[in-house]
Amino acid sequence: MKKKATTRISMLIAIGLLFFARSVFALDAVYSDFLGKAIKGYDPVAYFTMQKAQKGDKQYQYEWKDATWYFSSEENRNLFVANPEKYAPQYGGYCAWAVSNGYTAKIDPQAWSIYEGKLYLNYNQSVQAKWVKDVPNNIAKADGHWPTLLAQ
């Protein structure tokens, strides 16, 4: 009887470890910091409406895709809530250049561009300079890599 209980406990521990390992190493659909803030707390709508990176306010936040999105105004939050896909950065907010090269990287909210109505973020200004040299080709490559990166 004692051996059966030990075996069951061992199996439960093994299953728990597998689940923990999967959740630790799985790529989140939205890049967020340690506190769960998407775009490091910047307002995704402001890139479109103000044409600049604008820090959000914790007073105006919204939970979407397991991340907390911050906005600089109630109006911007409402725009996002009504159509998050329109305003959310491509590739879950990971560095678009990195995704185009088959990996993910964090971002600098100040390194951004909008191309054909979509927001793209980059690791830093230097990487962004590489990204903007051939945006259509980089998007095509990133679109090809993104589903595979998500499945990992």
Q: Give residue limits of the domains in the chain.
A: 30-88, 89-152
Overall average pLDDT of the 93-119 stretch: 98
Overall average pLDDT of the 26-52 stretch: 94
Reply yes or no on whether the pLDDT at 18 is more than 80. no
**What pLDDT is recorded for position 23?**
39
Reply yes or no on whether the pLDDT at 4 is more than 70. no
Q: Report which of 80, 68, 84 is spatially closest to residue 35, judged by C-alpha positions.
A: 68
Give the β-pairing of 118-122 and 57-64: unpaired
**What pLDDT is recorded for position 152?**
80
**What pLDDT is recorded for position 27?**
84
pTM for the full predicted model: 0.82
